[in-house]
Amino acid sequence: MKYLISRAFVALLFLWTMTGSCLGAEDYEQLFRQTSDLMAQGDLDGALALLKQVPAPKADEEAGPFVSSRMQAARIYASQKASDKAMTTCQEVLKLFPDNNEARNFAAALKDLQKPGWHTALSDTVRFLPALAKGALMTLLLVFCTMLVSPLGGLLVALGRISTIKPISGFCWFIIWFFRGTPLLLQLFFIYYGLPSLGITLKPLTAAVIGLGLNYSAYLGEIIRGAIQSIDHGQMEAAKAIGMSYSQAMRRVIIPQTYKRLMPPVGNEFIALIKDTALVSTIAMVELMRAADQLFNTYFNITALALAAVIYLVLTTIFTFIFEKIEYRAGIYEHR
């Protein structure tokens, strides 16, 4: 298809230059007519040979026939995909007439043609990367803040859930019920757009960390509770039997044994978190997703989105790797 279009383009240019060069000397007129006949017969080599007969003009001679013949030759070469030869021919003209627009544009177009597809993608990448990297840093900041807040919140919620004190366990049940049961997007909207009506105005980053922190505390809370309750009941009894209090037993005996069991589901959650941070783009935060979206809307260039996908994949891959390592370390006492 591309080939056909370029052929048609060449033919049109050819016709246009023909009419232009008709104003030259009679010899040239005949030469160009012969050339077009040869081209019509498909004898491109013959046409090229004829065109090459037009000599470079002397100082006082007219440039038209020479430029026309060389540009015609360049177009033939280009149509034959011999862009090297086409380029040399263009440069032949440019050497004598550096200001010739036709030759200059043609050379530029040839240069672009010579660039492979990945070159365009690469230049887009170079252009988009700074903005995306800035966005990715913000995404990472959100992830790290949430990773600091939510395990603590999750532990509190988990301990509250298994507490025998009814109001505490009821409250923690409610927290989990609410934050797992409503969309994160809605929670973010409520915190960022809703709280100001109660007189609490938060910066986007604060609102985002609070929203993500609460949501992930609820999820991690259930994971931690499951891990705690999966530890053999005998461990608690043995701890109590040597005189430990409940909190000592939790801190020294039960919770340390949950680490290994926690790693796979918690790793899962944190990978989900990396992607969930994309939702805070809706509350005026420019993180990776928003940055990519802005670039896409400015340049209508899909490369921005593809790059964002690659950055997300890189981040999640790194996290997966780290969590595998931590899981191995956490369970080292089980290795025989």
Q: Segment near another protein (CB under 8 A), from 31-39, 99-107, 183-191, 228-236?
A: 228-236
Taking the C-alpha atoms of residue 169 and residue 163, their distance in angstroms, rounded to an integer, is 6
Gyration radius (Cα) of the chain, Å:
36
Contact 220, 273 (CB under 8 A): no
Q: Does 252 bind another protein (CB under 8 A)?
A: yes
2 vs 335 by CB, closer to another protein: 335
Look up tokens 């990715």; give the residue. 136
Q: Does 118 bind another protein (CB under 8 A)?
A: no
Q: Does 111 bind another protein (CB under 8 A)?
A: no
Q: 3-state DSSP call for residue 257?
A: helix
201 vs 245 by CB, closer to another protein: 245
Q: Does 335 bind another protein (CB under 8 A)?
A: yes
Q: Does 168 bind another protein (CB under 8 A)?
A: no
Least Å distance, CB 322 to another protein, is 21
Q: Does 234 bind another protein (CB under 8 A)?
A: yes
Among 238, 272, 309, 313, binds another protein (CB under 8 A): 238
Q: Is the dihedral of CA 267, 272, 277, 283 positive or negative?
A: negative
Contact 269, 213 (CB under 8 A): no
Q: Does 165 bind another protein (CB under 8 A)?
A: no
Among 245, 297, 298, 317, binds another protein (CB under 8 A): 245
- Give the distance from CA 260 to its chain's centroid: 34
48 vs 155 by CB, closer to another protein: 155
Taking the C-alpha atoms of residue 327 and residue 329, their distance in angstroms, rounded to an integer, is 5
Q: 301 vs 123, 143, 275, 286, 297, CA distance in Å?
A: 12, 27, 22, 19, 8
Q: Does 112 bind another protein (CB under 8 A)?
A: no
Q: Does 323 bind another protein (CB under 8 A)?
A: no
Taking the C-alpha atoms of residue 273 and residue 319, their distance in angstroms, rounded to an integer, is 11
Among 3, 118, 300, 333, binds another protein (CB under 8 A): 333
Q: Does 200 bind another protein (CB under 8 A)?
A: no
If binding means CB under 8 A, how many residues of this protein chain bind another protein?
A: 22
- Give the distance from CA 155 to its chain's centroid: 35
Token digits for 157? Answer: 């919620």
Among 93, 239, 279, 291, binds another protein (CB under 8 A): 239
Q: Does 246 bind another protein (CB under 8 A)?
A: yes
Least Å distance, CB 249 to another protein, is 9
Taking the C-alpha atoms of residue 65 and residue 77, their distance in angstroms, rounded to an integer, is 18
254 vs 288 by CB, closer to another protein: 254
Q: Does 40 bind another protein (CB under 8 A)?
A: no
Contact 136, 289 (CB under 8 A): no
**Amino acid type, 267:** G
Residues of this chain that interact with another protein (CB under 8 A) are 232, 234-235, 237-246, 248, 252-253, 256-257, 333-336
